[in-house]
Structure 1
Amino acid sequence: MLNHLTLKDFAVVSASELAFGQGLTAVSGETGAGKSLIVDALLWLTGTRADAGIVRHGAERAELAAEFGLHDAPDAAAWLRDNDLDDADGCQLRRVIRADGGSRAWINGRPATLAQLSELGGLLVEIHGQHEHQALLERGHQLGLLDAFGQHEPRLAEVRTLAQAWAELDREITEISRAGDVADRIGYLEHQLGELGKENLEVSDIDEMLGAHRRQSHAASLLSGYDLALTRLAGDDGLSVTRGLRQVAGELARHVDAEPRLAEIVSLFESAEIQLAEAASSLERLRDDLDLDPQHLQQLESRMARLHDLARKHRVPLNELAHRRDAITAELDALRHASERSDSLFAEREAAGQRWQAAAEKLSAARIATAKRIGKAVSALMGELGMAGGVFAVELTPQDSPKPHVLGAERCEFLVSANPGQPPRALRKVASGGELARISLAIEVAALGLDSVPTMIFDEVDTGIGGAVAEVVGQKLRTLGKTRQVLCVTHLPQVAAQGHHHFQVNKAVNGSATYSAVSVLDDKARIEELARMLGGVEITKETRANAKQMLGKAQSA
């Protein structure tokens, strides 16, 4: 639900901050005052391409921001989570459009693309009116609305799952078929695997080989280093390090009675003597283990050369040769079983197609029944909305592709005939903006807001009507407001009186500049605005009484 809308330097609005509530909100004002600015602002906030003309004259940029609650928008909340743009239980859209035509957008304070704004905006706001941005004109949305009206989701989910399973089997068959005659490939891979199989390629063995090679390569210097260290430790070229430590410890021990703290130092020397003895023993073992063997070194170098040749041939590091061997083994197994797998896949695909067909037929039967119900309901509402004799119908036609489709076996097209005797035409081809808006309203009322979009906006849905029809339009909008948040831009008092809330847009001229401001009306101000909408140049006492009666009747219903 839309909670707040903030406008700054937008068209003729210098600055405005609006709070919205549940139910139906009516927006009215003098002709040319800018009643549709709220609609325009939400269009820009939901992905419409930037136009420098919306920046107020003399300003550097226009700034727009909207805050939505997500308690009634689970699809939008899921989208935000999937795109790592979620922020608690709310959603903020912000857009800045510069006077040079450039723009930037943010979702919950993080930079966003227009595509992201549009995708998310479609889950938050649905706009109906005399413009091209109407979701109801899109055939995909029409099919979704039909399924929502008939509560087909369980059947549709089954069809979608089966179509995806069929597509996966078909993709695997295509990949096998693309490979063609694999005999040459099998022979080539077997040769490669034979070469790799002659060597021990495990990472631990290769590391051990490299270590052995390093030791053999440096055997002479290592032996020299071992001997020198042992000689010095043993004292063969002078005083033994161990003996020197023992002498120092003994000398200091004679003074412990005089200075007890020397005992700890003497202990450290004794520990050092023990560690030196252990070090000397370890050095002796290393020296004894080291075998200066030129033949072994040559064998290690030969093996290293073979491994490096294999690594260059397969374009992998030494420690990935085992992975390459395993990959070749897996590919060989797949190729050897390709023919057998292909026969199995064809059978599986055929069975999957039959399962999809059965599920799709059940969905098609449900859609046919639902199409009749929604057609009858909307046709009846069209009569109430001033299009007596008008007909609404849902046309179901086969999908273009014979393959199993995730949306079922048919496409959907909404058809309307606004006047008796005229053949129904596609809703997207209806010329009259006013008729299109009222038909959209009839569809939404008939569906009782079954689509998941929480906020619906109707811009000038009352164009070309008046009197009793206008009152019915207002009543239908109020009914829709029981299940969805509804905003309606209107010039008719019969519609405005039905609103749970009422905004008024006023235009004023200050010198050479024109400004528009939006204000929230209380009951007294609403009566004055309804009287203005009812009356002419002069508002009389009778007009105000009529407005008061109209408002009271609407609010008590």
Structure 2
Amino acid sequence: MLAHLSISNFAVVKQLSVHLEKGLTAITGETGAGKSIAIDALSLCLGERADANAVRKGAAKAEIIAHFSLSNNLLAKAFLNEHELTSDEDENSCFIRRIISKEGRSKAFINGIPASLQQLKGLGQYLLAIHGQNTHLQLLKEEYQRDLIDAYANHNELIEAVKITYDAWREKQKTLQNLQAQAQQREDRLQLLTYQVHELDDFAIEEGEFEEIETEHKRLSNGQSLLEQAQTSVYNLYESDEGNALSVIQNSVERLGELETHDASLTPIIAMLNDAAIQVEEASRELRSYCDHLEIDPLRLQQVEARYAKAMELAKKHMVMPESLYEHHQALTAEFNALGEQETLLGTLEGDVAKSRDEYLVATGKLSASRAQAAVSLANDIELQIRQMNMPHAKVMIDVNYDELKKPVSTGLDSVEFKVSTNPGQDADKLEKVVSGGELSRIGLAIQVIASDNHATPTMIFDEVDTGISGPTASIVGGLLRRLGKRSQVMCVTHLPQVAAQAHNQLFVTKLTDGESTETQMLPLTKQDRVDELARLLAGDKITKSALANAKELLKSAASN
């Protein structure tokens, strides 16, 4: 529950510190006094975005501190533990602090630890629920009506199953649509690749083959010249009787050998010449062997020239270097196979999409059945509540219509419609066609009370939800809020004395001004103060003895309940 609220320099509040009690607390005051300022401040503590206009004029910053007691609030404690935000001093307490600078910058802290707005919102759902003046207008929206049924039914696992199957269907459907959209482009590309790959398959060049062809082509094209030059070299090096290189070297070795005894420095030169003679002789043998094996084959040359020319032609046609023709062939083949696999995938995906939709329909069908069952029970509960609020002939129906032909969405295939009949003999129809503003407020309040029975929030705040209600109905609504206050901490901003009288505690909001500045204060009322305030609400500014007597009677009647 909310134990204490401290506000500094927020809107028209200069300094406000108020302790909150258990049960139902009524917040009353003059029109324009700022009864909703505390609610606005608490909204910031729950993660609402801040505005520089919230800072009191002339102040550097606004600060709001909310102290919550977490006794028996296991969900809030679990959230704090999970996010490492637990208080080191007292695990049963939680302090939320929000600071807004005049420039509009905002900081948030949970138990003194910096926190994000998302963390404030996550924790806030376990601490406090605010029902504003226009909350009941949400009842006119179909999605809100559907959410009410889901919250009442508490079938979260069915909702999650629908979301999971929807996400799976949507992902497959998206992939299928992309493939279908690219079908013509893919078909055109496949036709081109079919021709190109077939052409390259027929040529079937091997890796590194072009370099080999090029080398062989040069050798065969110049075979006669190679043979003639090789034979001439053998003749000059080894075979010429008129003087070959080998005989010249050998002759030099003999002559220098005769002189070696006269000069030892000739020894290494002679050794080099001997080595040269060996090398010349070896080279001559290799050249002779080369000549013996050198082929001059016109037919082979014709074959090599044809393949070389075809390789050059294909390289030019595919706009690649001839050395890269093999890699290009492999890349086109891989692309061709991938496109073929996509065609196969297209057929498979069509089946997968149909299967995913069937799974989605099964999940939505189960959810719809649960919603329909919950709708009957919720309608009965709402009808019972509003009949106690001066709508004795009211009948409530909630239609849940399942349509598997609707476009799939993550929330299912149901359309939900709340229908009400308020008078005997009147057909039930949509809320906006039947109920008045006051009746809609009562229905909204009944739903909020029912919701609190199923999912109790430790603290609930109602901001003038009794708008459009008066007389005996106001007393009934007040009694309903009082009973709700016995289970949870409830605060209600109200202008109705019948509702305020039912409160266990009462706070009075007043606005003070010195002509230059305005300040709002919130004061707890004593028993006598409450009598005076209720009399003011009953009679206006001029309090009469009759109004005071009526105020005392209202308090006495409420206390007896």
Question: Which TM-score band applies after superposition, normalised by the shorter structure?
Answer: 0.5 to 0.7
Match of 1:26 in 2: 26
Match of 1:498 in 2: 502
- Cα deviation code 1:402-427 (max 9, x no counterpart): 45433221143545577785974456
Match of 2:269 in 1: none
Stretch deviating more after TM superposition (161-170 or 389-398): 389-398
Residue aligned with 2:454, SS: coil
1:549–1:132: structure 2 CA closer, same or farther, 3 Å change rule? closer
- Cα deviation code 1:27-77 (max 9, x no counterpart): 122344322222233345556665665444444443334344667777777
Match of 2:359 in 1: 355
1:418 and 1:152 map into 2 onto residues whose CA distance is: 30
Q: Does residue 368 in structure 1 map to residue 372 in structure 2?
A: yes
Q: Does residue 437 in structure 1 map to residue 441 in structure 2?
A: yes
Displacement of 1:10 after TM fit?
A: 2.5
Q: Partner letter of residue 161 of structure 2?
A: E
Alignment of 1:53-68 (within 5 A): 54-68=54-68
Match of 2:130 in 1: 127
RMSD over aligned Cα atoms: 4.7
Q: Partner letter of residue 491 of structure 1?
A: H
In the alignment, is the contact (CA less than 8 A) between 1:5 and 1:66 conserved in 2? yes
Counterpart among 383, 386, 393 of residue 382 in structure 1: 386
- Cα deviation code 1:140-183 (max 9, x no counterpart): 44322212223333433333333233334334444555665385
Q: Partner letter of residue 17 of structure 2?
A: E
Counterpart among 338, 346, 353 of residue 350 in structure 2: 346
Q: Does residue 458 in structure 1 map to residue 439 in structure 2?
A: no
What TM-score results when the alignment is normalised by the length of structure 2? 0.60
1:449–1:93: structure 2 CA closer, same or farther, 3 Å change rule? farther
Alignment of 1:318-333 (within 5 A): none
1:124 and 1:394 map into 2 onto residues whose CA distance is: 30
In the alignment, is the contact (CA less than 8 A) between 2:5 and 2:19 conserved in 1? yes
Q: Does residue 481 in structure 1 map to residue 481 in structure 2?
A: no
Counterpart among 151, 154, 172 of residue 151 in structure 1: 154
1:87 and 1:141 map into 2 onto residues whose CA distance is: 34
Residue aligned with 2:502, SS: coil
Q: Partner letter of residue 42 of structure 1?
A: L
In the alignment, is the contact (CA less than 8 A) between 1:458 and 1:489 conserved in 2? yes
Residue aligned with 1:170, SS: helix
In the alignment, is the contact (CA less than 8 A) between 1:75 and 1:123 conserved in 2? yes
2:33 and 2:56 map into 1 onto residues whose CA distance is: 15
Q: Partner letter of residue 368 of structure 1?
A: A
In the alignment, is the contact (CA less than 8 A) between 1:23 and 1:482 conserved in 2? yes
**Percent sequence identity over matched residues?**
36
1:422 and 1:107 map into 2 onto residues whose CA distance is: 53
1:550 and 1:381 map into 2 onto residues whose CA distance is: 22
In the alignment of these two chains, the number of paired residues is 418
In the alignment, is the contact (CA less than 8 A) between 2:135 and 2:444 conserved in 1? no
2:433 and 2:8 map into 1 onto residues whose CA distance is: 34
In the alignment, is the contact (CA less than 8 A) between 2:456 and 2:488 conserved in 1? no
1:556–1:336: structure 2 CA closer, same or farther, 3 Å change rule? farther
1:152 and 1:528 map into 2 onto residues whose CA distance is: 48
Match of 1:323 in 2: none
Match of 2:9 in 1: 9
- Cα deviation code 1:501-524 (max 9, x no counterpart): 322223333454332211233445
Displacement of 1:390 after TM fit?
A: 5.1
Stretch deviating more after TM superposition (503-512 or 178-187): 178-187
Displacement of 1:441 after TM fit?
A: 0.5
1:137 and 1:116 map into 2 onto residues whose CA distance is: 30
1:505–1:174: structure 2 CA closer, same or farther, 3 Å change rule? same
Q: Partner letter of residue 359 of structure 2?
A: R
In the alignment, is the contact (CA less than 8 A) between 2:419 and 2:428 conserved in 1? no
- Cα deviation code 1:264-286 (max 9, x no counterpart): xxxxxxxxxxxxxxxxxxxxxxx
In the alignment, is the contact (CA less than 8 A) between 1:382 and 1:391 conserved in 2? no
1:507–1:416: structure 2 CA closer, same or farther, 3 Å change rule? farther
In the alignment, is the contact (CA less than 8 A) between 1:416 and 1:427 conserved in 2? no
In the alignment, is the contact (CA less than 8 A) between 2:30 and 2:510 conserved in 1? yes
In the alignment, is the contact (CA less than 8 A) between 1:61 and 1:97 conserved in 2? yes
1:399–1:534: structure 2 CA closer, same or farther, 3 Å change rule? same
Alignment of 1:13-412 (within 5 A): 13-46=13-46, 54-68=54-68, 86-87=85-86, 90=94, 92=96, 94-96=98-100, 98=102, 102-108=104-110, 109-110=113-114, 112=116, 125-131=128-134, 139-174=142-177, 176-177=179-180, 180=183, 181=186, 337-387=341-391, 389=393, 392-396=396-400, 402-412=406-416
Q: Partner letter of residue 492 of structure 1?
A: L
Displacement of 1:488 after TM fit?
A: 0.5
1:122 and 1:72 map into 2 onto residues whose CA distance is: 15
In the alignment, is the contact (CA less than 8 A) between 2:361 and 2:404 conserved in 1? no
Displacement of 1:357 after TM fit?
A: 1.7
2:193 and 2:77 map into 1 onto residues whose CA distance is: 50
1:338–1:366: structure 2 CA closer, same or farther, 3 Å change rule? same
1:500 and 1:105 map into 2 onto residues whose CA distance is: 35
1:423 and 1:550 map into 2 onto residues whose CA distance is: 36
1:16–1:344: structure 2 CA closer, same or farther, 3 Å change rule? same
- List runs of 5+ in structure 1 lacking aligned partners: 192-196, 199-327
1:467–1:530: structure 2 CA closer, same or farther, 3 Å change rule? same
In the alignment, is the contact (CA less than 8 A) between 1:506 and 1:516 conserved in 2? yes
In the alignment, is the contact (CA less than 8 A) between 2:404 and 2:413 conserved in 1? no
1:123–1:140: structure 2 CA closer, same or farther, 3 Å change rule? farther
Displacement of 1:529 after TM fit?
A: 3.6
2:336 and 2:504 map into 1 onto residues whose CA distance is: 71
Match of 1:207 in 2: none
In the alignment, is the contact (CA less than 8 A) between 1:137 and 1:428 conserved in 2? no
